[in-house]
Amino acid sequence: MSATRTTTKTTAEAINEIEGYLLWESEKSRARERARAFTAALPWLTEAQREAVEHRYAQDHLAASRDHLRRIAHRSGELRTEYEAVHRTLKRRMTAWCTTCTALTTVTVLLTLLSHR
């Protein structure tokens, strides 16, 4: 069963990597499209200047996107840690509550049975 979990995790990780790759390729394409749209509004640029501006614009866009993704990933990790802590606390409380209810029910049943003897 451990091998199955490892395989499943590996498969999930591979799918995440493929999805990340495809999303990043899409972001690169979007950066190039935005760069072309930006330079289209600058008709006085020579072809070499237009290409240089498009390249710089796209690189800047990708750097900003990379920074955003890093901040999001960092915050996501923080939230995961916080939510896991809350989940553990709630799980402990629920376990304690269920244990208490079970004990009270057991005592009530036993007392009822003993009182009818």
Exposed, middle or buried by CB within 10 Å (0-12, 13-18, 19+), for 31? buried
Mean pLDDT of 80-96: 97
Residue with more model confidence, 87 or 1: 87
Residue 36 has pLDDT above 80, yes or no: yes
Can you give the pLDDT at residue 2?
54
Mean pLDDT of the chain: 92
Number of domains in the chain: 1
Residues 61 and 39: beta-carbon distance below 8 Å: no
Is pTM beyond 0.95? Reply is: no
Range in 5-19, 26-40, 58-72 with the lowest mean pLDDT: 5-19
Domain that holds residue 111: 2-115
- The model's pLDDT over 45-83, given as tens digits with 9 standing for 90+, comes to 999 999 999 999 999 999 999 999 999 999 999 999 999
